[in-house]
């Protein structure tokens, strides 16, 4: 049966759109934003996360691994990702919850079961289902099926996206999407490329087309000192988005709460080059959007 890799299926979320929501985090993303707090969603394969703080160095995982992928070196457990087949024997054998597999293949029915279970919360709170990631538009078939399922049950739908996808995918999901949570990470193409790894021309093109077709769009603007917090770029972003008729924005100040996940995945995280913008700066950004006739401006998710 067809399935899709999900890094997390978060119930009772209040940060990913209106009301109480169930957020489906697809695993896989074409961007590599420097500040990303969900690095476990980057790759389209399952991965082992290792928590050194819980580990007693008992060696059970080393003995359990049939592939010889696990070793203990310098008081830490190392997993050779080239050898690991995600058979989960090591995680089953670890008594201390120091190892976990991130990325679970779920079928359409399995995801729908969870969404259906939470329907009472949606109707009471004005919530619904949010499809996020990673980049959920990397999985157009499953995403479209899930959106159609929600529409048939009158579940409000939100799609949280970087905008970096073929227009054909947006065209396909538009009739079933009540709200787009649309990230703009930098106005300047050069800055965008530098901080995310991809060009932003397609992202702006898709946004313009969506707005011209009447999509309900809430802009999301991550603001990271050292990356994209230049006020002139933010001014240009507000101006261009306003010219498309967008009125809603969430200003998302940088935090490093995802830092520990990089450690657990054995990856580097460059926290020294990034910082949270000051309250004064955030107020200035709010004013920029107000001056461009945005009517719904929030700081935070």
| Least spacing, CB of residue 266 vs ligand SF4, in Å | 12
Question: Which of 18, 38, 88, 236 forms a contact with ligand SF4 (CB under 6 A)?
Answer: 88
Cβ-based burial of 49 (10 A; exposed 0-12, middle 13-18, buried ≥19)? buried
By beta-carbon proximity to ligand SF4, the closer residue of 57 and 282 is 57
| Least spacing, CB of residue 77 vs ligand SF4, in Å | 5
The pair of structure tokens assigned to 160 is: 């949280």
d(CA 101, CA 32) in angstroms, rounded, equals 21
By beta-carbon proximity to ligand SF4, the closer residue of 58 and 191 is 58
DSSP 97: S
By beta-carbon proximity to ligand SF4, the closer residue of 79 and 228 is 79
The pair of structure tokens assigned to 120 is: 């009472």
| Least spacing, CB of residue 79 vs ligand SF4, in Å | 5
Question: Footprint of ligand SF4 on residues 44-73 (CB under 6 A)?
Answer: 55-61, 64-65, 67, 69-70
By beta-carbon proximity to ligand SF4, the closer residue of 87 and 275 is 87
| Least spacing, CB of residue 83 vs ligand SF4, in Å | 7
The pair of structure tokens assigned to 179 is: 């709200």
User: Which ranges constitute the DSSP H helices of 59-175?
Assistant: 60-64, 89-93, 108-117, 119-125, 140-152, 167-173
d(CA 145, CA 141) in angstroms, rounded, equals 6
Question: Footprint of ligand SF4 on residues 93-152 (CB under 6 A)?
Answer: 93-94, 96, 98-99
| Least spacing, CB of residue 50 vs ligand SF4, in Å | 6
Cβ-based burial of 172 (10 A; exposed 0-12, middle 13-18, buried ≥19)? middle
| Least spacing, CB of residue 48 vs ligand SF4, in Å | 6
Residue 112 has phi, psi (to 5 degrees) of -60, -35
* Contact indicator for 179, 159 with CB cutoff of 8 Å: yes
By beta-carbon proximity to ligand SF4, the closer residue of 87 and 299 is 87
The contact set with ligand SF4 (CB under 6 A) reads: 55-61, 64-65, 67, 69-70, 77, 79, 84-90, 93-94, 96, 98-99
């Amino acid at each position: 049966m067809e399935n899709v890799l999900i890094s997390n299926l978060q119930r009772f979320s209040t940060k990913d759109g209106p009301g109480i929501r169930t957020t489906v985090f697809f695993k896989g993303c074409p961007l590599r934003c420097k500040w990303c707090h969900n690095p476990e969603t980057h790759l389209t394969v399952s991965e082992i996360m290792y928590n050194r703080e819980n580990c007693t160095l008992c060696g059970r995982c080393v003995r359990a691994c049939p592939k010889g992928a696990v070793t203990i070196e310098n008081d830490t457990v190392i997993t050779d990702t080239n050898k690991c087949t995600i058979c989960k024997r090591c995680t089953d054998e670890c008594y201390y919850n120091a190892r976990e597999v991130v990325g679970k293949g779920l079928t359409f029915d399995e995801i729908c079961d969870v969404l259906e279970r939470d329907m009472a919360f949606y109707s009471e709170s004005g919530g619904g289902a949010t499809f996020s990631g990673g980049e959920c538009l990397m999985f157009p078939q499953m995403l479209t099926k899930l959106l159609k399922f929600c529409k048939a049950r009158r579940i409000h739908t939100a799609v949280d996206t970087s905008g970096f996808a073929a227009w054909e995918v947006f065209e396909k999901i538009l009739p079933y999407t009540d709200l787009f949570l649309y990230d703009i990470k930098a106005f300047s193409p050069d800055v965008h490329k530098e901080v995310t790894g991809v060009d932003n021309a397609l992202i702006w093109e898709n946004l313009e087309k969506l707005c011209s077709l009447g999509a309900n769009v809430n802009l999301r603007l991550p603001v990271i000192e050292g990356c994209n917090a230049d006020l002139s770029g933010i001014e240009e972003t507000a101006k261009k988005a306003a010219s498309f008729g967008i009125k809603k924005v969430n200003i998302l100040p940088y935090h490093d709460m995802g830092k520990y996940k990089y450690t657990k995945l054995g990856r580097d995280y460059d926290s020294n080059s990034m910082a949270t913008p000051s309250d004064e700066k955030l107020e200035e950004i709010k004013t920029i959007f107000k001056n461009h006739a945005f009517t719904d401006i929030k700081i935070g998710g």
